[in-house]
Chain A
């Protein structure tokens, strides 16, 4: 392989993207050419520096901690009620009281969800066969009535963050699809579909019972899983 050809392929070589045959040829040239070795070393150092930089996409990390803080006001017990069983509560159950920020936020919930949708539209139409095509449809949380905001409504801003992070990560993953083994792509897509089904189910249940703290946590947890899986996938 010539010096010029090697220089052309060095980027792919240092990032590990060359097929085996070409990689061997580049390595053979590197053994003979000090200038190319120096160039390869400089590119490798540059990649290492780039890898050490903070990631441009900062997906939400375990947003539930913040969400929980918002929707768990001062403890007040609530009778469990409807069962024939003798009831022993796990812990004092909080009566829902709207945190101040929720009341303020209630009017903007639709705007936030709309903004999220706009962001996704801005990112372009989804291809029918891409993983992004499996993103569940966002149905806006029931609007919070003054003084009676729901856990679902309180979750909406966080959901918008999740969805934005997911859309960005999926765009990165889509761009890298060709570099992944077909079997790996199939596995990732099948499992993203499983997560999306879980999101749809949790969301539908929460829409029917928008005060449920448990369902809100379940939905948050599934979103966490999706973000984490995508984070790992784009690093493959």
Chain B
């Protein structure tokens, strides 16, 4: 086992001279390239060669960059020096900046702690994880999974599906997504402007804005405000104290809105043909939609018919007010 470990080290690239990194490996067009770098930055760029080319600057104190095959993957790893045996003091290591050119059909998997991550022009799946660094993905990857605990996560791509999350950083998803967008945050805001077949967003206190979703939008927050904008809107929007704004018109699948204390605004196109059913315990209804026909089904239930009343909007609040207007 020790011999195998030693062999792996011997096969690794030698320490980069004067901090400059320039390593090349021939590699098949497909498969996985994995990149590990604690601090600094990682930029992965797809190209049309069956070769991985690693360039950049080794951070002061960092030992070397390894480029080696591990279990069928090509792994690029920044190696920091071990401390002296038996001495647990921390080694001062500066961040390393890496640019990794990969065959564009490769699957790319990047892991960092504080290093910023950028992935461009990759057509295989992209997976990028950072603790505090930002993550940005562009191009036409098959699918994207991007995650940071405190960094910003940005995806602007033509892709099959997106899963993006951050705990405290902002999350944004733009471009065109053939399938579904899933995004999560705790306190960071979430913006989804990508055209997609469906959106699911969960946030605790972050504001959520979704537009251009062609399919259902499912959004849930506790205190974060929610805004859903677009044509033929469908889905379910749910908050405890956050406000909910619906802008556009409603598709045949209808929209369900729930808010405990947050206000709900329906800014609907004047051509909208929908029936709005509203249930509230103590909230009020304000109507500025010309031509709306309002009836009251019970002490707590209203029914508002717009146009032919075709689509269905169901609004439930405990104390939140509901405002209806035309746009």
Contact status B168-A184, CB under 8 Å? yes
Q: Which of B63, B88, B202, B220 contacts A1 (CB 8 A)?
A: B88
Contact status B83-A25, CB under 8 Å? yes
Interface residues on B, range: 35 or more
Considering only CB atoms, which chain B residue lies closest to A225 in the complex? Answer: B240
Query: A28 near B: Cβ within 8 Å?
Result: yes
Interface size on A, residues (CB 8 A): 55
- Chain A residues within 8 Å of B316, by CB: 214, 217-218, 221
Considering only CB atoms, which chain A residue lies closest to B92 in the complex? Answer: A21
Q: Which of B114, B168, B204, B299 contacts A191 (CB 8 A)?
A: B204
- Chain B residues within 8 Å of A222, by CB: 240, 260
- Interface hits, A146-205 → B, CB 8 Å: 181, 183-184, 187-188, 190-191, 194-195, 198, 201-202, 205
- Interface hits, A100-158 → B, CB 8 Å: none
- Chain A residues within 8 Å of B222, by CB: 191, 194-195, 225, 229
Main SS class of interface, B:
loop
Query: A82 near B: Cβ within 8 Å?
Result: yes
Query: B218 near A: Cβ within 8 Å?
Result: no
Query: B81 near A: Cβ within 8 Å?
Result: yes
CB distance from A78 to the nearest CB of B (A): 9
> How many residue pairs bridge A and B at CB < 8 Å?
158
Query: B91 near A: Cβ within 8 Å?
Result: yes
| Complex-state Cα separation, A198 to B136, whole angstroms | 37
Contact status B91-A25, CB under 8 Å? yes
- Chain B residues within 8 Å of A55, by CB: none
Query: B318 near A: Cβ within 8 Å?
Result: yes
Considering only CB atoms, which chain A residue lies closest to B298 in the complex? Answer: A80
Contact status A198-B2, CB under 8 Å? no
* Given A21-B90, A188-B204, A198-B240, residue A34 in contact with residue B295 (CB < 8 A): no
- Chain B residues within 8 Å of A46, by CB: none
- Chain A residues within 8 Å of B39, by CB: 20
Considering only CB atoms, which chain A residue lies closest to B71 in the complex? Answer: A41
Residues 8-43 of chain B, each 1 if its beta carbon lies under 8 Å from chain A, else 0 = 110000000000000000000000000000110000
- Chain B residues within 8 Å of A181, by CB: 149-150, 167-168
Contact status A225-B238, CB under 8 Å? yes
Residues 259-282 of chain B, each 1 if its beta carbon lies under 8 Å from chain A, else 0 = 011000000000000000101010
- Chain A residues within 8 Å of B77, by CB: 31
| Complex-state Cα separation, A217 to B63, whole angstroms | 61
Query: A215 near B: Cβ within 8 Å?
Result: yes
Query: B214 near A: Cβ within 8 Å?
Result: no
Residues 232-273 of chain B, each 1 if its beta carbon lies under 8 Å from chain A, else 0 = 000000101100000000000000001011000000000000
Main SS class of interface, A:
helix
* Given A20-B114, A187-B204, residue A27 in contact with residue B80 (CB < 8 A): yes
Contact status A28-B167, CB under 8 Å? no
Contact status B82-A25, CB under 8 Å? yes
Contact status A85-B295, CB under 8 Å? yes
CB distance from A91 to the nearest CB of B (A): 9
Contact status B1-A28, CB under 8 Å? no
Contact status A214-B90, CB under 8 Å? no
- Chain B residues within 8 Å of A187, by CB: 168, 186-187, 204-205
Query: A70 near B: Cβ within 8 Å?
Result: no
- Chain A residues within 8 Å of B66, by CB: 31
- Chain A residues within 8 Å of B88, by CB: 1, 5, 22, 25
| Complex-state Cα separation, A198 to B222, whole angstroms | 10
Query: B288 near A: Cβ within 8 Å?
Result: no
Contact status A35-B296, CB under 8 Å? no
Query: A49 near B: Cβ within 8 Å?
Result: no
CB distance from A234 to the nearest CB of B (A): 12
| Complex-state Cα separation, A29 to B9, whole angstroms | 12
Q: List 28 contacting pairs A-B, 8 Å CB cutoff, sorted by A.
A: A1-B88, A20-B38, A20-B113, A23-B38, A23-B113, A27-B79, A28-B82, A31-B8, A31-B9, A31-B79, A32-B5, A32-B82, A38-B1, A80-B297, A83-B299, A87-B295, A88-B297, A90-B277, A90-B297, A187-B168, A187-B187, A187-B205, A191-B204, A191-B240, A194-B240, A198-B241, A214-B300, A236-B186
* Other 20 A-B pairs with CB < 8 A, given A25-B80, A187-B187: A1-B82, A1-B85, A1-B88, A2-B86, A20-B114, A21-B90, A31-B5, A80-B298, A83-B298, A83-B299, A88-B297, A181-B149, A183-B168, A187-B204, A195-B222, A214-B301, A221-B238, A221-B258, A229-B204, A232-B202
Give chain A's interface residues, CB within 8 Å of chain B. 1-2, 5, 20-25, 27-29, 31-35, 37-38, 80-83, 85-90, 93, 181, 183-184, 187-188, 190-191, 194-195, 198, 201-202, 205, 214-215, 217-218, 221-222, 225, 228-229, 232-233, 236
Q: What are the 10 A-B residue pairs with the smallest beta carbon separation, nearest first?
A: A34-B5, A28-B82, A34-B1, A21-B90, A85-B296, A191-B222, A198-B260, A80-B298, A187-B187, A24-B80
